[in-house]
Chain A
């Protein structure tokens, strides 16, 4: 007898746009592929350090079949942005009553993907990437239903950030959902997108974001993963950056029981690509950051700084690969991963990888792991600062170096506040 396939076995909800030929085929092919591959296991190199065994054992029910929980307010823990367009998703479904997308300028389309798929059966054909080598993204395609659809016409500048808020919520039954976000920034467009992922209860968010940064566009894209303590969060971000574009990405992961954020970026010519991030974890949390930077054309630069702080029994994973193809001369690629281990129960697996086929490039990578150094700690204490405050200052300084990479000022301050909160609650736990 065949093993039941998680997430697909009893799935009988009618998905948006069903009956559209290309869409039905896309989903069916992806479902078929996922039936074959199943959930990734540590036997796969890409999933060597992040084990989905516990996720597989949890009997998640599709959010489509479980609509008992209602959310009437946006919970705390999101990025605090003074002024932004807000698109809220509850268990992966667009929540118009919690969103505010009024006043978007001409040339900007921001809507729910489900609405788009139901109303307009042709325009999205061919817009979804082939993700067959990513089993979880393949599952996402198989159940593709809702998410943010954002399109900026050529030359449009978004006048304030767009804040994507994902709220996960589960009652007694664990719930799973598979949001698909599609972001298309036209040539020469300028925008800042901020994501907040929060929630409560046992839920599993398996999202895929496809981002296309047009020729000469500037896209700031900052994400806070602050899921509830019982949550699973797996996210694949597929980013195509066209010639002369600037992509400034930052990922701050502090929440979830198990979380993995994967970024795959493909760079055109004369691109500036910045993938930075920080992860702060305690308790039994497991946080994974996996990135792939594909220098597919010459004269581009990539910069990557990831800094982590692990406490108690937390586990961190960093896998960062940079590929420089043969014709990608004059590539400038730098990667750094530093992790601070605050207690003996913590563990970090860090795997930097450089694969270079061009001969005229400047590339470097480095990874360090360690405890707080005694010397600066003593220096602070010798000035009357108590050890707990002194440690807090040094940890904040350590993470601060990553936060400094965020190019947009207001989001940087908002992310700093999240880090400060985390550090404060840590020192309270110890207090």
Chain B
């Protein structure tokens, strides 16, 4: 059984069809990258998988660990082990980062039958993970993402992935807005989470991120469809020739 299996997925936003038949299978232990120009449907795919309201699946199927993903609410998907690292993490004034993390971790743990962590256990657990991402206690005390720099927000996303220990993670343009140092920290964090049990889908516009998070497979998304798939060399080829040559080939 594959970790995730997307079959002929069509989806609309505000009545407009954005995804026009996506087929993609990811096995546990694999990292796939989806590259595509603006407007190709990259973010729509990530929101459809995460279950955001307003992204309507009109046909197709997604199996997650053999279960019908599209039947689940957004929070059920997350508890079942799906994780979306947001391109634009949301600022939530008045909710302390630690409180948020603890609520999320315990929701997921209870779903797995592991029992909730108490305040002390949780603090120990989160500090271990946070240290590796250069996130200090001060950042954890602050309101969620409020006043965080671009890099801090992305590190916080990776921290959330680290503490929630998902089976499958979608990283939506995790490189956007990052300078090279921040990118390295984030990529190291992601790489540390690669494992035989875990699959990842890295969505990006630029090849740069894939120098740091090296994928097993690369797909090119254009016009709501995957138009070409290959290994990591496809990303380099794309970088060299530009999207136009690939998209043009499809159109022709």
Contact = CB atoms under 8 A, between A and B. Distances in A.
A382 B78 contact: yes
A378 B94 contact: no
A381 B75 contact: yes
30 contacts: A376-B90, A379-B86, A379-B89, A379-B90, A380-B92, A380-B100, A381-B51, A382-B50, A382-B52, A382-B74, A382-B78, A382-B84, A383-B75, A383-B160, A383-B164, A384-B164, A385-B78, A385-B103, A387-B73, A387-B75, A389-B103, A390-B75, A393-B99, A393-B100, A394-B92, A396-B94, A397-B93, A397-B94, A397-B95, A401-B93
A376 B94 contact: no
Nearest to A384: B78
B1 to A, nearest CB: 23
B26 interface: no
Interface size class of B (residues with CB under 8 A): 20 to 34
Interface residues of A, number: 22
B79 interface: yes
B19 interface: no
A384 B92 contact: no
Interface in B84-115: 84, 86, 89-90, 92-95, 99-100, 103-104, 107-108, 111
B240 interface: no
A386 interface: yes
A60 interface: no
Interface in A337-393: 374-376, 378-387, 389-390, 393
A20 B95 CA distance: 58
Contacts of A396: 94
Interface string B173-207: 00000000000000000000000000000000000
B100 A383 contact: yes
A150 to B, nearest CB: 35
B83 to A, nearest CB: 8
Contacts of A378: 52-53, 74, 90
Interface in B32-60: 50-53
A386 B94 contact: no
A292 interface: no
A378 B48 CA distance: 12
Interface in B127-157: 143
Contacts of A386: 75, 107
Interface of B: 50-53, 73-75, 78-79, 84, 86, 89-90, 92-95, 99-100, 103-104, 107-108, 111, 143, 160, 164
A385 B107 CA distance: 6
B94 A381 contact: no
B78, B93, B103, B108: residue with the most chain A Cβ atoms closer than 10 Å: B103
Nearest to A403: B94
Contacts of A393: 95, 99-100, 103
A385 B93 CA distance: 17
Contact of B75 (A375, A384, A400, A401): A384
Top 10 nearest A-B pairs by Cβ distance?
Answer: A397-B94, A384-B78, A383-B104, A379-B90, A381-B75, A384-B107, A384-B79, A381-B74, A400-B94, A384-B108
A385 B74 CA distance: 9
Interface in A393-431: 393-394, 396-398, 400-401
A390 B107 CA distance: 11
B140 to A, nearest CB: 15
Interface in A95-145: none
Nearest to B82: A382
A379 B104 CA distance: 11
Contacts of A389: 103, 107
Nearest to A383: B104
A375 B90 contact: yes
A376 B108 contact: no
B11 to A, nearest CB: 16
A376 B93 CA distance: 10
A191 to B, nearest CB: 30
B98 to A, nearest CB: 13
Contacts of A382: 50-52, 74-75, 78, 84, 86
A378, A384, A398: residue with the most chain B Cβ atoms closer than 10 Å: A384
A381, A387, A397: residue with the most chain B Cβ atoms closer than 10 Å: A381
A398 B94 contact: yes
A379, A387, A400: residue with the most chain B Cβ atoms closer than 10 Å: A379
A398 B86 CA distance: 23
Nearest to A374: B53
Nearest to A378: B52
Given A378-B53, A381-B74, 17 more contacts: A376-B92, A378-B52, A382-B74, A382-B75, A383-B78, A383-B104, A383-B107, A384-B78, A393-B99, A394-B92, A394-B95, A397-B92, A397-B95, A397-B143, A400-B94, A401-B93, A401-B94
Contacts of A376: 90, 92
A382 B169 CA distance: 12
A125 B58 CA distance: 79
B52 A385 contact: no
Nearest to B111: A384
A399 to B, nearest CB: 8
Contacts of B75: 381-387, 390
B73 to A, nearest CB: 7
A370 to B, nearest CB: 15
A397 B94 CA distance: 4
B61 to A, nearest CB: 21
Nearest to A404: B94
B143 to A, nearest CB: 8
Contacts of B143: 397
Contacts of B84: 382
A383 B101 CA distance: 9
B45 to A, nearest CB: 15
A379 B92 contact: yes
Contacts of A390: 75
A131 to B, nearest CB: 38
B97 to A, nearest CB: 12
A381 B52 CA distance: 9
B90 A384 contact: no
